[in-house]
A and B are shown apart, each in its own frame.
Chain A
Amino acid sequence: MQMEGRGDPIERLERSRNEEIRIFLAEAGIDVQVFRRTPEGEWVPGEERLQIPMDLLDRFREILHEAEESSAPGERAPLHRVPFANPSEEEFARILDFYQIEWQYEPKGFPLDWNGNGQVTESFTPDFYLPQFDLYIELTTLKQDLVTKKNRKIRRLRELYPTVNLKIFYGRDYRKLLERFGIVHQ
């Protein structure tokens, strides 16, 4: 790893698979530099480099904070703007974000039953869709009577849409998943 004698970066921000920004702590302040991956897989420093004197760091933090608050067009909304039905779903979204797995929240409802006029009378909308894996995920943290009703819907969905890839996380499984990450379930 080429660090130009500056030691290890204190932060790496991945811009793409082959480009990242590395932040180094220097005596006079902070060095920010773009690094690119060569076809051989080596990371090399680019020409883009910014040196921020120590006395401007507070203003730099303000700018970063403002940038975080206003998401760019086309980007997914920040978590706090997604209307999650419960905290479990929001935590799950955080986990997916952490591992940089793209997700969509309730993007599609599947009709399960129709009346005589062809109108949908029952449908099922999985909580998450992971486009990279063509996978729907349903988190079931409800009471048992509601779980039974949901299970019936899931069976119906699998009958009507056998090619849809759906995974169910029941309450106990989900709590174990959170425990695995050291998170106490609320």
Chain B
Amino acid sequence: MGADLSRKPPRHVEGEMADDLAEILIPEAELQAKVHELGAAISRDYAGKDLVLISVLRGGFIFLADLCRAVTLPVTVDVMAVSSYGPDARPLGVVKILKDLDESVTGRDLLIVEDVIDTGLTLSYLLRNLEPRVPASLKICVLLDKPARRIVDLPIAYRGFEIPDKFLVGYGLDYRQRYRNLPYIATLTKEALDRLNRQ
């Protein structure tokens, strides 16, 4: 089953992975332009401040890597990992921090760097977790805003793209832990979704 890549042919993507893609929603060039636009805004707003960029694993790592290089300030970078809700997590009861920050953040300017916000539940939890550490400021930067399924509204200081309510992959976004390495944001074919759901 060939892919209908209506916007741009896949670069360095071969075989099964290319066949799995239905459409490129945000091409690589658009992503990079937006990341640089966000980086410039952040550099302007945080000049002279002690900025700590905090990303949430695993989805945010590619956006963080590109964004921090688009920021022209001497930033500190740190990462967190939290458990997600799902069939396996249900017996555990509540979200857990799987990897906490290594940096002390008291009195520093924190910017949470997320690949995507949809329900807002994870970010809401992170804000509640980070606020008691008494940072000088705490704001959110998201590359992709998927408002259709928002449960908790949160103030987003920096927003890349508003996107439709579809399963998206690439640039850190996964489906069943695959496709994070695509350099653009794409949708999967129904055949690929069905196949992956059967595995």
Contact = CB atoms under 8 A, between A and B. Distances in A.
A17 B129 CA distance: 7
A176 B165 CA distance: 8
A39 interface: yes
A40 interface: yes
B80 to A, nearest CB: 12
A179 B119 CA distance: 13
B134 A41 contact: yes
A100 B126 CA distance: 11
A137 interface: yes
B90 A94 contact: yes
A14 interface: yes
Interface residue tally on B, bucketed by range? 20 to 34
Contacts of A39: 106, 134
Contact of B128 (A17, A95, A177): A17
A169 B148 CA distance: 9
Interface string B131-156: 01110000000000000111111000
A5 interface: no
A100 B149 contact: no
B76 interface: no
B105 interface: yes
A11 to B, nearest CB: 9
B125 A100 contact: yes
Interface stretch (B29-37, B57-65, B81-89): B81-89
Contacts of B95: 98-100
Contacts of A159: none
Given A167-B151, A182-B86, A183-B87, A98 B93 contact: yes
Those 4 A-B pairs whose CB atoms lie nearest each other, nearest first: A41-B133, A99-B121, A182-B86, A41-B106
